């Protein structure tokens, strides 16, 4: 069994951003040489996430609105007593999850017709990492 690891680093200009990383993940799959296997893409921070969704701006706006409605920014979170101000970012991560696992078939990332991979940043403006871990034959 082969294993391949690649790290990505992001430092977003805004506190919240959605960054399409599909092509970068596809390149990692090709670099790995794995023909049949799995590709894990995981945010290495609890205030970010990796999601698979359609690349459509209206939907992106809907996602941000939904996340803000369910986990709004507020000043009175108990987490903020530690000196942090990002409790909402931790809660948003819980809603969309930290990582995704994707199939590799015949040496290619096996995505559906509208599926794209995104790095979702909820507390940016500082360096954050994503790990791509590929295993298979």
Res 6: pLDDT: 98
Give residue-wise pLDDT tens across range 55-84.
999 999 999 999 999 999 999 999 999 999
Structural domains counted in the chain: 1
Beta strands in 17-106 (DSSP E): 17-20, 37-43, 48-53, 99-105
57: domain CATH number is 2.60.120.460
pLDDT bracket for residue 45 (50, 70, 90): very high
- Work out the average pLDDT over 117-137: 97
* Strand stretches in the chain, DSSP E: 2-10, 17-20, 37-43, 48-53, 99-105, 108-109, 116-121, 128-136
pLDDT band for position 46 (50/70/90)? very high
Spell out the residues 6+ positions from residue 132 whose beta carbon is closer than 8 angstroms to its own: 4, 5, 6, 7, 8, 24, 25, 28, 39, 40, 41
- Predicted confidence at residue 95, as pLDDT, reads 97
- Its domain, for residue 40, covers 2-136
* pLDDT confidence tier of residue 134, bands split at 50, 70 and 90: very high
Band (27; pLDDT cuts 50, 70, 90): very high
The predicted-structure confidence for 2-23, as pLDDT tens digits, reads as follows: 999 999 999 999 999 999 999 9
What's residue 64's pLDDT? 97
């Amino acid at each position: 069994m082969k294993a391949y690891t690649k790290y990505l680093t992001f430092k977003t200009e805004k506190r919240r951003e959605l960054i399409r990383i599909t092509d970068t993940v596809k390149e990692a799959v090709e670099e790995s040489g794995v023909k049949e296997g799995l590709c894990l893409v995981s945010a290495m921070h609890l205030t970010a996430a990796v999601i698979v969704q359609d690349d459509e701006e209206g939907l992106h706006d809907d996602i941000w609105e939904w996340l803000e409605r369910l986990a709004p920014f507020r000043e009175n979170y108990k987490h903020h007593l530690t000196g942090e101000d990002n409790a909402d970012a931790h809660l948003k991560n819980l809603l969309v999850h930290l990582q995704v696992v994707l199939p590799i078939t015949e040496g290619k990332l096996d995505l559906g017709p509208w599926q794209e991979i995104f790095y979702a940043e909820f507390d940016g403006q500082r360096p954050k990492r994503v790990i791509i871990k590929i295993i298979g034959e």
